[in-house]
Amino acid sequence: MISSKFANILVFDIETIGNISSPNFVNEMQITVVGVYNYARNEYKTYFLEELSELESDLKQADLLVGFNSDHFDIPILDKYYQFDLFSIASFDILREFRANTGKRLGLDAIASMTLGFNKSGTGSNAITLYQDGKLEELADYCLNDVKLTKEIFEYCITKQQLIYPSKDGWLRLKVDMKYDVDDFIETNTQKSQYSLL
């Protein structure tokens, strides 16, 4: 568990359909489901496209958004569904911070398998197939599995001040220092004041 004076921390992940290879992918991608872990309520929950308005108040109250590759993918796509600026909320993008400390770009599964000892339950293409087949409950479970992995990696990073990842050939377990204080990070990176009264 994370110790912080800020209670409103959300760990999240989105699943989408659309042309991810398009240079205009943010506008072309459509959300199918959002998975969220809310620290304030100790609650996992999913929101399908038609339920995104139910997530709005939690986002407006959030002190920190935690994701994986979220600055590049999840936040820009989710942002277009709301009238306020999600980029104003402090963001702990695990991949961004990992790259800043190692110069390497690895997937969630590679870091999770080394750091936590377990893997993702599927792939993004699996999630698209589940949506197209109408298997929404399975899609929600897949999304929340990624949220749980992201949450566990975030907590490992903050409490142990490091992450573990595989060498290029996959044979070695390498460690990288990840020295962060959650409260300092939030206070340094938040810009919420522009909409906090809305």
State pLDDT tens for residues 102-128: 999 999 999 999 999 887 766 677 889
pLDDT of residue 198: 38
Q: Output the CA–CA distances (angstroms, integers) from residue 84 to 7, 8, 60, 76, in the order listed.
A: 21, 17, 8, 12
Mean pLDDT of the chain: 91
Asked if 31 and 77 count as a contact pair (C-beta separation under 8 A), the reply is: yes
Q: What is the pTM of this model?
A: 0.93
- Residues in CB range of 155: below 8 A, 6 or more apart: 1, 2
pLDDT of residue 197: 36
User: Distance between CA 107 and CA 123 in Å, rounded?
Assistant: 11
| 143-159: average pLDDT | 96
Backbone angles phi, psi at 11, to 5 degrees: -100, 130
Q: How far is CA 55 from the centre of its chain?
A: 15
Confidence of residue 171 (pLDDT cuts 50, 70, 90): confident
Of 3.30.930.10, 3.40.50.150, 3.40.50.1820, 3.30.420.10, which CATH number belongs to 9-191?
A: 3.30.420.10
Asked if 122 and 142 count as a contact pair (C-beta separation under 8 A), the reply is: yes
User: Distance between CA 46 and CA 141 in Å, rounded?
Assistant: 9
Q: How many CB atoms within 10 Å of residue 67?
A: 27
Confidence of residue 192 (pLDDT cuts 50, 70, 90): low
